[in-house]
Structure 1
């Protein structure tokens, strides 16, 4: 199995491209090993010393490492864990819990502003940040403020605030005049 790697704008993350489907639908973010209960694949990756975050995209895996370790030390072990996963019959995700997202969506179901914001994020923002191994997900809109969740290489990236304020916030303000600010969450 040949696995390509790509650097990302975040020096603590690396994008791994296994040449196979990673997530058939959506994305999954595991900011710590305690959050991997529903993913045998994420658990396997967190067994590598120095791994601090795992993000699954459609056809890539983004790994965030501990700042004290160099990629040269842990990259071979991560490549081995990815190869082992695809050689096994383990699932990537066992069960997805979508109740929280459905609840959030139903809260803003009739809002045209929220529909516009989500459409812009889906079509203009997410494809661009996915190229760098990350994702930005709509969380909420309240009193003119859009709350976004940064995942994968976007989480903790030195340039993420510039992207958020100069790129995403300006675009949303342009297309949706009701938007006054964009803020990252947790």
Structure 2
């Protein structure tokens, strides 16, 4: 199995593309910021066994690994490649039975009414069609949390390589905020939720 690797804007994260589904299309990525959080994901647990792995993000067709400070990629990259290849080639489960990926948003338009619900639906549609694919190209994901009608604030969470990326604030403010403000005039600003 050939696994392509890509650098991400976050120098501590690398994207691994095995050329086949990891979670599968239409499924939201899963973020594992620690070994304890990976209890329902055998492949993520195995990746955490590699000394120097700090966090893991599983996408539809990629795996993003973030390394610890002081760890060099050339020391851990071969073990990461081997672990991913072993799991996918052998057909081992990436997730344990019963583990589920969540909906594409943490916040739902059903929490809102009337015109505000329509605004939230527009925001979520823009995130899913314009923002999420671009962020996935960089080895990450973005989650909509909520919209505050009275302030015009949109709250989002960056995950995967984007979570600790030095340029994530620029992405949120100059990219996503400008896009949402352009298409949804009720949006005044975008804020990150940790």
1:167 counterpart SS class? helix
- TM-score, with normalisation over the residues of structure 2? 0.88
Conserved 8 A contact 2:16-2:64: yes
State the Cα deviation string for residues 62-88 of structure 1 (Å, max 9, x = none): 100002111010101111111221233
Q: Which residue of 2 aligns with 1:42?
A: 44
Residues 8 and 115 from structure 1, CA distance in 2 versus in 1: closer, same or farther, beyond 3 angstroms? same
Could you say what the CA RMSD is over the residues aligned between the two structures, in angstroms? 1.7
1:10 counterpart SS class? coil
The CA deviation at 1:8 is: 0.6
Q: Does the alignment pair 1:55 with 2:57? A: yes
State the Cα deviation string for residues 7-46 of structure 1 (Å, max 9, x = none): 1110000000111111112211111111112111111111
Q: Which residue of 2 aligns with 1:68?
A: 70
Instruction: List runs of 5+ in structure 2 lacking aligned partners.
Output: none
Conserved 8 A contact 2:28-2:102: no
The whole-number CA distance in structure 2 between the counterparts of 1:11 and 1:167 is 20
The CA deviation at 1:109 is: 6.8
Extract structure 1 runs of 4+ deviating beyond 6 A: none
Q: 1:152 aligns with which of 142, 160, 163?
A: 160
The CA deviation at 1:126 is: 0.7
Q: Which residue of 2 aligns with 1:87?
A: 89
